[in-house]
Amino acid sequence: MEPTNQNKHQAFQQDQKNRGRLLITCPDQRGIVAAVSQFLATHQANIIESSQYSTNPEGGDFFIRIEFECPDLDSKKTLLQEEFETIAQRFSMEWTLSFVHDLKRAAIFVSKELHCLRELLLEWENEDLVMDIPLVVSNHPEAKNFVESFGIPFVHIPANKNNRQEAEQQQLKLLEEHDIDVIILARYMQILTPAFVETYSEKIINIHHSFLPAFVGAKPYDRAFDRGVKLIGATSHYVTNDLDEGPIIEQDIKRVSHRDQVEDLKKNGRIIERSVLVRAVRWHVDDRIIVHDNKTIIF
């Protein structure tokens, strides 16, 4: 992996250099919090924020997110990972321990409609969205200048129904080269193959321009107009191989009226699409999401 061109979030990284996050899923039982908090206290870590959720206290599943501050965290990373394994095994945990200063590496995929891309880059520029963006990929050339004006490489890979395999080969190669953690489909209008989706399972975030499960599939604003709805919506979700059926991360709506024609619904929709997608991405890079049973738990 080559170094990225972004060092804009260095102050953040320095500020957060001792900050870690634990995300845990396991069968519910007594003593989990005690064991984990004891482990952290032993390593001089102070719990800063903690949220937990149980589907059912009697024999259900248990989920917790803990953010902690630990002196000299950088030098203790391996140790913590190794020692936590004992607790994890005892409680049959699935877990991840992440370090806030190791920024997530995001690739943004876009087509012709640029409003979601623009919002992501402006929030990133503003430091309201902290991650690395090693590249933007598009099947159209329109976004090139805008993207490059932020110092971010733009890669144009024409993609359509007929060359899907080859296009994805190119994309996968780039994603691997750039060590990408999360793919953001910012109104990317191509369907991904099952193989691609499985490679990045729970790591592809899409924005769908309707209030799911209403208006699954194509042309949701046209269908919302035909139905005469009074609110339109947008939904951000992880991509699975069932169209628009993946775990929902965030949704929002905007009021419309009989005066709004299809074009007006689209215009209003752009406002919610971009804010919903940014919130979903922010929660993902902040390690706030656990996917369970095709739903999301957002801490």
Provide the annotated active-site residues: 244
* Among the listed residues 87, 88, 229, 262, the single contact to a copy of itself using CB under 8 A: 229
91 binds a copy of itself (CB under 8 A): no
SS3 per-residue string spanning the chain: CCCCCCCCCHHHHHHCCCEEEEEEEEECCCCHHHHHHHHHHHCCCEEEEEEEEECCCCCCEEEEEEEEECCCHHHHHHHHHHHHHHHHHHCCCEEEEEECCCCCEEEEEECCCCHHHHHHHHHHHCCCCCCEEEEEEECCCCCHHHHHCCCCCEEECCCCHHHHHHHHHHHHHHHHHCCCCEEEECCCCCCCCHHHHHHCCCCEEEEECCCCCCCCCCCHHHHHHHHCCCEEEEEEEECCCCCCCCCEEEEEEEECCCCCCHHHHHHHHHHHHHHHHHHHHHHHHCCCEEEECCEEEEC
**Minimum distance, C-beta of residue 104 to a copy of itself, in the bound complex (Å):** 19
Residues of this chain, 186-225, that bind a copy of itself according to CB under 8 A: 211-215
52 binds a copy of itself (CB under 8 A): yes
Binding part of the chain for a copy of itself, among 47-55, 84-92, 95-103, 130-138 by CB under 8 A, reads 47-55
Specify the residue, 37 or 98, whose C-beta has the smaller distance to a copy of itself: 37
* Among the listed residues 13, 33, 77, 91, the single contact to a copy of itself using CB under 8 A: 33
Number of residues that bind a copy of itself (CB under 8 A): 62
* Among the listed residues 126, 161, 194, 218, the single contact to a copy of itself using CB under 8 A: 126
Residue positions counted in the chain: 299
Measured between alpha carbons, how far is residue 198 from residues 172, 192, 202, 241 in Å? Answer: 12, 10, 9, 8
40 binds a copy of itself (CB under 8 A): yes
**Minimum distance, C-beta of residue 258 to a copy of itself, in the bound complex (Å):** 4
4 binds a copy of itself (CB under 8 A): no
Backbone φ and ψ for 137, nearest 5 degrees, come out as -115, 135
**Minimum distance, C-beta of residue 256 to a copy of itself, in the bound complex (Å):** 10
- Which positions from 104 to 123 touch a copy of itself by CB under 8 A, shown as an x/- string? -----------x--x---x-
Residues of this chain, 247-276, that bind a copy of itself according to CB under 8 A: 247-253, 257-259, 267, 270-271, 275
28 binds a copy of itself (CB under 8 A): yes
88 binds a copy of itself (CB under 8 A): no
Residues of this chain that bind a copy of itself (CB under 8 A): 28-34, 37-38, 40-41, 44-54, 57, 69, 115, 118, 122, 126, 128, 145-146, 149, 211-215, 227-231, 233, 247-253, 257-259, 267, 270-271, 275, 294-298
